């Protein structure tokens, strides 16, 4: 009797996904085996082949609500307190994300799959509910960013959002993780547009240096004010969010990283941290002149930040800022929708790889595209409370992060899962400190929101 071959496989159960990932690994091993007399490019080639998830997760988190949170912070409080604060939040993000690199490289399994297998269906569903709410709200804000950025140039919302949806779909046509990653990486570096926008604001470098060295002054009226604590929460949520855990670990697995690649994955994550911190601070610095000029820009959904900046940093600077907001929303729409598809594919035990064609992994692609299209459609509803959603999405991310971190801490300290790559003492001190601070921030926000009169609100 003739043997049957699974649909989409090449033979002996080998799929296109296996072949594509093997080709990527072969390129890495060939780059490592070059002779001792290598050029600098040849020495760096293995790292070039291995980087991607770390840069994408951090610059992807420099998304529309994050950059608008930084912009709102700069316009309201300037740079004194928040420039060093943003830097610290990104370092906290590195502490957390480095662990997902090790988890993915050692286990070759995504974050959602590990939670279900290690903690059981109840806690797995709990983690997924926590994640789904954050995913969808964040996706909505990404299309708000797309609409806001292109709105500066007079592009109608339907065309702006519809065009973004087509781009999300277009980058999937290669059916290759490597191609998708390189296209999104190219888009990610347009996040650097905030840097020239900041330079056109003619920042006072002495003030920035003083802020970094002294971390002062505190925001006017102190930290414990309702509007201040909300911006603090939004800035934390611009750096440390649950979707980042799921995306980077799944991307590490889809890329095929192994335990021997952890060092390169760590370098990739640190590079993403430094780049995203630089661009985030640049967004804050670019809008800081609004404070000194007495200009208010409170409505995010129609790109008022870029419009308000035009008299201060000129048409070129405002254009760069608007394009940066557009890029931030578009890139995050791609990464977050992909992350949601990874998570659902893992827990439902369905194909979930960008190396697979549509007919082989149609549920994965359906979730990816369906979540993006649903979020984009919501942005087009007349009179939807877009401004409020932008403000709240990062706050919700902070409130949802401690449970996600507790799962992560247990997983990376389990020797049956991690072997010799379990957390060391300093890694545990770092992640427990981050978790405690997030819990404190959430409690402070809750108390101040419920009892504003106690703090003069």
pLDDT at 270: 96
Question: Does 16 have pLDDT greater than 80?
Answer: no
Question: Is residue 52 included in any domain, yes or no?
Answer: yes
CATH number, domain with residue 302: 1.20.1740
Question: Is residue 308 included in any domain, yes or no?
Answer: yes
Question: Is residue 51 included in any domain, yes or no?
Answer: yes
Question: Is residue 157 included in any domain, yes or no?
Answer: yes
Q: How many domains does the chain have?
A: 1
User: 390 Cβ partners below 8 Å, 6+ apart?
Assistant: 64, 65, 68, 141, 144, 300, 301
pLDDT at 5: 38
Question: Is residue 4 included in any domain, yes or no?
Answer: no
Q: Identify the domain containing residue 99 by its residue range.
A: 47-455
The runs of H, that is alpha helices, within 221-361 are: 226-237, 242-255, 262-287, 289-292, 304-347
Task: Report, as an integer, the average pLDDT of 318-325.
Answer: 91
Which of 17-21, 294-298, 398-402 shows the lowest per-residue confidence on average (mean pLDDT)? 294-298
270 CA to centre of own chain: 14
Report helix, strand or coil for 172: coil
Angstrom distance (rounded) from CA 321 to CA 313: 10
Annotate 334-359 with DSSP letters as a single string: HHHHHHHHHHHHHHTT----TTS-TT
In 3D space, the residue among 343, 438, 419 whose CA is nearest the CA of residue 103 turns out to be 419
pLDDT, tens digit (0-9, with 9 covering 90-100), for 229-274: 877 888 888 788 888 998 999 999 999 899 999 999 999 999 999 9
pLDDT, tens digit (0-9, with 9 covering 90-100), for 143-156: 888 888 898 898 99
pLDDT band of 302, cuts 50, 70, 90? very low
pLDDT at 301: 45
Bridge partners of 11, per DSSP, are 14
pLDDT band of 13, cuts 50, 70, 90? low
Task: Report, as an integer, the average pLDDT of 425-450.
Answer: 86
Question: Does 4 have pLDDT greater than 50?
Answer: no
Residue-wise burial string across 85-117, b where 16 or more C-beta atoms lie within 10 A, e elsewhere: bbbebbebbbbbbbbbbbbbbbbebbbbbbbbe
pLDDT at 432: 93
pLDDT band of 81, cuts 50, 70, 90? confident
Task: Report, as an integer, the average pLDDT of 297-320.
Answer: 74
Question: Is residue 8 included in any domain, yes or no?
Answer: no
pLDDT band of 445, cuts 50, 70, 90? confident
Task: Report, as an integer, the average pLDDT of 368-384.
Answer: 83
Annotate 8-76 with DSSP letters as a single string: TEEETTEEHHHHHHHHHHHHHHHHHTS-SS--HHHHHHHHHHH-SHHHHHHHHHS-HHHHHHHHHHHHH
pLDDT band of 316, cuts 50, 70, 90? very high
pLDDT band of 388, cuts 50, 70, 90? low
Question: Is residue 1 included in any domain, yes or no?
Answer: no
Angstrom distance (rounded) from CA 85 to CA 281: 10
Angstrom distance (rounded) from CA 385 to CA 408: 34
Question: Does 7 have pLDDT greater than 50?
Answer: no
Angstrom distance (rounded) from CA 280 to CA 195: 9
Question: Is residue 146 included in any domain, yes or no?
Answer: yes
Question: Does 300 have pLDDT greater than 50?
Answer: no
230 within 8 A of 391, measured Cβ to Cβ = yes
Residue 80: DSSP 8-state? T
Q: What is the bridge-based pairing of β-strands 9-11 and 14-15?
A: antiparallel
Task: Tell me what percent of the residues of the chain surpass a pLDDT of 90.
Answer: 30
Tally of CB atoms within 10 A around 1:
3
Question: Does 11 have pLDDT greater than 80?
Answer: no
Q: Choose between 61 and 1: higher pLDDT.
A: 61
pLDDT, tens digit (0-9, with 9 covering 90-100), for 271-290: 999 999 999 999 888 888 87
- Establish whether the linkage from the previous residue to 128 is cis, with ω within 30° of 0: no
pLDDT, tens digit (0-9, with 9 covering 90-100), for 415-427: 999 999 999 999 9
């Amino acid at each position: 009797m003739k043997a049957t071959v699974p649909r989409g496989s090449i033979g002996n159960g080998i799929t296109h996904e296996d072949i594509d990932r093997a080709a990527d690994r072969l390129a890495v091993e060939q780059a490592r085996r070059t002779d001792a007399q290598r050029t600098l490019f040849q020495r760096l080639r293995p790292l070039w082949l291995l980087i991607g998830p770390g840069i994408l997760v951090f610059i992807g988190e420099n998304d529309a609500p994050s950059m608008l949170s930084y912009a709102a912070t700069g316009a309201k409080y300037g740079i004194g307190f928040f420039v060093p604060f943003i830097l610290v939040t990104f370092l906290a993000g590195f502490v957390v994300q480095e662990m997902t690199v090790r988890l993915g490289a050692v286990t070759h399994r995504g974050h959602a799959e590990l939670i279900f297998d290690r903690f059981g269906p109840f806690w797995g569903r709990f983690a997924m509910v926590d994640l789904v709410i954050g995913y969808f709200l964040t996706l909505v804000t990404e299309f708000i960013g797309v609409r806001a950025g292109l709105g500066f140039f007079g592009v109608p919302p339907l065309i702006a959002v519809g065009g973004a949806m087509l781009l999300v779909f277009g980058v999937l046509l290669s059916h290759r993780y490597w191609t998708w990653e390189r296209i999104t990486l190219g888009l990610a570096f347009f996040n650097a547009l905030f840097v020239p926008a900041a330079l056109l604001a003619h920042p006072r470098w002495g003030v920035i240096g003083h802020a970094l060295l002294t971390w002062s002054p505190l925001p006017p009226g102190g930290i414990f004010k309702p509007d201040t604590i909300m911006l603090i929460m939004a800035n934390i949520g611009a750096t440390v969010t649950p979707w980042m855990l799921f995306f980077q670990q799944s991307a590490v697995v889809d890329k095929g990283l192994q335990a021997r690649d952890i060092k390169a994955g760590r370098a990739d994550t640190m590079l993403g941290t430094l780049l995203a911190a630089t661009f985030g601070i640049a967004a804050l610095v670019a809008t800081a002149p609004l404070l000194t000029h007495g200009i208010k820009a409170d409505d995010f959904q129609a790109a008022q930040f870029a419009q308000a900046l035009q008299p201060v940093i000129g048409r070129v600077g405002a254009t760069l800022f608007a394009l940066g907001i557009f890029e931030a929303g578009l890139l995050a729409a791609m990464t977050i929708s992909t992350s949601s598809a990874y998570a659902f594919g893992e827990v439902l035990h369905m194909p979930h790889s960008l190396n697979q064609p549509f007919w082989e992994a149609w549920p994965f692609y359906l979730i990816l595209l369906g979540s993006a299209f649903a979020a984009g459609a919501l942005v087009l509803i007349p009179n939807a409370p877009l401004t409020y959603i932008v403000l709240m999405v990062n706050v919700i991310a902070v409130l949802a992060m401690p449970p996600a971190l507790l799962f992560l801490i247990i997983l990376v300290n389990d020797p049956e899962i991690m072997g010799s790559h379990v957390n060391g003492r300093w890694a545990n001190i770092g992640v427990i400190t981050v978790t405690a601070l997030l819990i404190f921030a959430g409690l402070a926000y809750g108390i101040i929101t419920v009892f504003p009169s106690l703090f003069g609100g």
